[in-house]
Copies of this chain bind each other. A is one copy, B any other.
Amino acid sequence: MNAAYRCLAEGGFEELRMRDVAGRAGIDHSTIHHHFPTKQALIVAVVDHTTGQSGSTTPPDGSPTDRLRGHLAALRQKINDQPELHVVLRELDLRARRDPELREIIASREEGWRTSLRTLLAEAAAHGAPTAGVDPAAGAELVIAAVKGASLAADRADDVLGLLERLLIQA
Residue ranges of A at the interface with B (Cβ–Cβ < 8 Å): 10-15, 87, 90-91, 93-95, 97-98, 133-135, 137-139, 141-142, 144-150, 152-153, 156-157, 159-160, 162-164, 166-168
Contact B156 A141 (CB under 8 A): yes
Chain B residues within 8 Å of A163, by CB: 134-135, 138-139, 141-142
Distance between Cα atoms of A160 and B168 in the complex (Å) = 13
Q: How many copies does the complex hold?
A: 4
For the complex formed, measure the closest distance between the CB of A171 and the CB atoms of chain B, giving whole angstroms.
11
- Of residues A95, A137, A148, A166, which shows the largest number of chain B Cβ atoms within 10 Å of its Cβ? A148
For the complex formed, measure the closest distance between the CB of A56 and the CB atoms of chain B, giving whole angstroms.
15
Contact B152 A138 (CB under 8 A): no
Q: List 30 A-B contacts (CB under 8 A).
A: A12-B14, A12-B98, A15-B98, A87-B94, A90-B90, A91-B94, A133-B166, A135-B163, A137-B159, A138-B160, A138-B162, A139-B163, A141-B156, A141-B163, A142-B160, A142-B164, A144-B149, A145-B145, A145-B146, A145-B148, A145-B152, A145-B153, A145-B156, A146-B149, A147-B149, A148-B148, A148-B152, A149-B149, A167-B167, A167-B168
